[in-house]
Amino acid sequence: MTAIDALISRVAAKAGATSPDLPPVAGAEEVAEAEAALGFALPPLLASLYREVASGGYGPDYQLLPLIGPGRTVLSEYRSERSASAGGGTPYWPAGVLPILDWGCAMYAAVDCLGETATVLLFEPNAPTDDGAAAWFVDAGSLAKWLETWLAGTGWYREDADEREDVAEPTPWETAASRIAE
């Protein structure tokens, strides 16, 4: 068993224990359909989560969005944010950054699908600035690290996070401006 297989197994166990009504997994054809519509491949770990754990419905606090289907999905949210970004005054949503979890208040956890490590980003547009790049923060250097944080209960989003020393705060995403400009 590889480290990724072990991680997926641990995520599946926690997902089943904390979210009893998980949706079915996404089939290989649904993942391929999503990738074709997006125009880029999902990082292997993200695709495996959708194919082997469930199509959303688990994870930190507000839970992962479904990949495709009716209602709010990863695909529909990506299209919506990209369209709004392109149509507004200040572009803010880079290509290849896939929203996977809605934190509420217009904030998202998103995966950089074009980066080598599948960095998990925090989109926090509520700061008073006109710079779309200023809304982006690195939550975890990789999707695997982000999942490990959730499994360990050490995410910044925990209610008691400010009282703990093992909780890392998101840091500004240094390449946000250049990625938005692409």
Distance of CA 26 to the CA centre of its chain: 17
Q: Give the per-residue pLDDT at 154.
A: 87
Positive or negative, the CA dihedral 116, 111, 11, 48 is negative
Q: Give the per-residue pLDDT at 182.
A: 82
Q: Give the per-residue pLDDT at 156.
A: 82
**Domains located in the chain, CATH noted:** 3-155+162-181 (3.40.1580.10)
In this structure, are residues 113 and 42 in contact, taking their beta carbons and an 8 Å threshold? yes
Q: Give the per-residue pLDDT at 20.
A: 84
Sheet containing strand 120-123, edge to edge, reads 97-104, 107-112, 120-123, 136-140, 171-172
Place of tokens 């054809």: 29
What's the full length of the chain, in residues? 182
In this structure, are residues 51 and 25 in contact, taking their beta carbons and an 8 Å threshold? yes
Q: How far apart are CA 76 and CA 56, in angstroms?
A: 14
Q: Give the per-residue pLDDT at 71.
A: 92
Q: Give the per-residue pLDDT at 90.
A: 82
Q: Give the per-residue pLDDT at 162.
A: 66
User: What is the residue-level pLDDT of the chain in tens, covering all 182 positions?
Assistant: 798 999 999 999 999 999 889 999 999 999 999 999 999 999 999 999 999 999 999 999 889 999 999 999 999 999 999 999 988 778 899 999 999 999 999 999 999 999 999 999 999 998 766 678 899 999 999 999 999 999 998 888 877 656 777 767 888 999 999 999 88
